[in-house]
Amino acid sequence: MANNAVIEAAKIANQPEAPNGLLTGFVQGIGALATGLIKRADDAKKQAKILKNAYTGKTDIKGVADLVYTTQQRVKTDPNFTVDDGVERLKSFSYDVNTYLPSIEKKFRELSAKGFSNAANPLLENLITSYTLGELDGPINVDFNDGQGQRSYPTFIKPDKNGDLTMLTKDGTYQPFSAALADLESIVDINDGDKGTKFVTNFIGQKYNYGEQSKWQEESDELMTNITNEMKDPNVKLSMLFDNSVIVKGKEYNFSNHYMQNGMSKEERETINNGLKNLKSKDPRVIERTKAMLVQNIMKDDENLETDIQDYWKSIIDLKKPTKPNAGPAIGEVFDTSISNVENYNINRLLTLFKKGSDGTELGDLEIYRQDMGGGKIQLKRKNKQGEQAKDEVLGFSFDPTNKDEVIKMLPYIQRILFGSATAKELYAIKNFEAYLANNPEILTN
């Protein structure tokens, strides 16, 4: 858990001084970056399809003839630079151009064609898309002190002061081809987590009947071992966490949402969710990339990160734990508020009263009605059986029906009035709705 870490990060980003303003600006900034990355990735994917067929595996570099000429001149004029040195220099040029560069270009195009991981380094991703989109094709002018003046070279590749070929890298510096390739190969690939994720999806696809607890325990232990082994590779770990969701009984689970719920303060979570709602782009990929980037920023300083990750996988595994027939889902799991699923509980009708009722609205045969108290607050009352309004029973206290915390506080009163001496099934309905509401507060306003 790293509560308030994102607020501290926002302060570093020099946003407005108020804490919520800091965080809101930080979320908006990350969201704008995610939007740009995804737009560029889409463009690069289209361009990569064109380039893939044209790629020959061999690259010509403008200005190579000039480099050869410069090497020849240095052999003639520099007593410390021999013919053998010149030959070695030209061999180095040839090796870089014909070995490293084709590998690098091929890697660029492959990554652009498949798309990028939600955990990819944004700077490196931007370099790759910039190359694929031809944005680095413009020339750069280099001054040579040999009486020949300036010469032009592609922006992507240029000679250093010693005449060695170097390549633009993600941080804006020029490095030898070997270093550039190593940097490129360090990027998190969208497919890095495929093997580990397959272990998880295979487990989720199994059915564990009540009485098969030992089978579930044995196979869940095996899954955790496989996950732990896979995540020893940092790139695999990041891809498993941020490129994949798990669907269980129609509900989607992913690490970003888990971490936001369990690893952030209430203030952070609510402000981030509000910030996400206000992003200009409504593309679900932008939302997920923004969450992933925010979470990764916080993870860097989270001393309990490994515990959070283990808890995430355990929460997924527990969703498959065998339960008694007709026992319903585990507390906090999917809670469908449609009437077909809660016909015995009346929770759906009560939720409708919270959301859509107006002063005097009744909840049918339950004889509960809503009374507006002003200031956004309401109060629920139950009619007196003799019809004496002055004796109508107040259900709990006045509360804001769009505030999940206040709604949750109401539930014990609802349980008492709605169910009286509740059965185990009715108690379960209240508790499960409480857990569901805590994780899905938007249900009150949607």
Instruction: Specify the pLDDT at position 14.
Output: 39
Whether 258 maps to a domain, the answer reads: yes
Q: Which amino acid belongs to residue 231? A: M
Residues 248, 269: Cα–Cα separation, whole Å: 24
* pLDDT single digits (tens) 137-185: 665 555 555 566 665 555 677 777 776 778 888 877 888 888 888 888 8
Considering 282, 298, 327, which residue would you say is the last residue of a domain? Answer: 327
Question: Can you list the residues of the chain whose pLDDT is less than 50?
Answer: 1-20, 54-60, 339-344
Strand partners, 141: 152
The total number of structural domains in the chain stands at 2
Query: How far is C-alpha 58 from the geometric centre of its chain's CA atoms?
Result: 37
Same domain, 223 and 137: yes
Q: Which residue has the tokens 């082994």?
A: 229
323 and 352 housed in the same domain: no
Query: Token pair of 411, please?
Result: 């539930």
Decide: helix, strand or coil at residue 363. coil
> 106 and 253 share a domain?
yes
State whether 317 and 354 are in the same domain: no
| Residue (of 197, 221, 304) closest to 259 by Cα position | 304
Tell me if 333 is assigned to some domain. no
Q: List the structure tokens of 269.
A: 């979570």
* Residue 135 belongs to a domain: yes
Residue 295 domain-assigned (yes or no): yes
Query: How far is residue 153 from each of residues 81, 91, 109, 133, 364, measured CA to CA in Å?
Result: 24, 20, 22, 18, 79
Q: What is the pLDDT of residue 154?
A: 59
Are 351 and 314 in the same domain? no
Instruction: Look up the domain containing 135 and give its range.
Output: 1-327
CB 337 within 8 A of CB 444: no
- Domain presence at residue 21: yes
Q: Under 8 Å CB-to-CB from 145, ≥6 apart: which residues? A: none
Q: Which two tokens stand for residue 383?
A: 């009619």
364 with 414, same domain?
yes
- For 380-401, how does the pLDDT look when each residue is reduced to its tens digit (9 = 90+)? 888 887 778 888 888 778 888 8
**Domain for residue 148, yes or no?**
yes
- Answer for the pair 278, 285: CB distance below 8 angstroms, yes or no: no
Tell me, yes or no, whether 356 and 303 share the same domain. no
Is the residue at 94 inside a domain?
yes
Exposed, middle or buried: residue 259 (CB in 10 Å: 0-12, 13-18, 19+)?
Answer: buried
pLDDT in tens, 210-250: 788 899 999 999 999 999 999 999 999 999 999 988 887 76
Structure tokens at 156: 């992507």
- 257 with 394, same domain: the answer is no
Angle at 207 between CA 203 and CA 208, to 5 degrees: 100
**pLDDT value, residue 229:** 96
332 domain-assigned: no
Q: How far apart are CA 446 and CA 443, in angstroms?
A: 5
- pLDDT the model gives residue 9: 45
Claim to verify: residue 18 and residue 46 sit in the same structural domain: yes
What is the C-alpha to C-alpha distance for residues 216 and 249, in angstroms, rounded to an integer?
17
Same domain? For 15 and 90 the reply is yes
In this structure, are 321 and 371 located in the same domain?
Answer: no
Rounded-to-integer distance, Cα 217 and Cα 23, Å: 42
| DSSP per residue, 135-202 | TT-SEEEEEETTTTEEEEEETTEEE-TTS-EEEE-TTS-EE-HHHHHHHHHTSPPTTTTHHHHHHHHH
Distances from the Cα of 415 to the Cαs of 75, 81, 85, 194, 429, in angstroms? 92, 90, 88, 45, 10
Q: Are residues 202 and 298 in the same domain?
A: yes
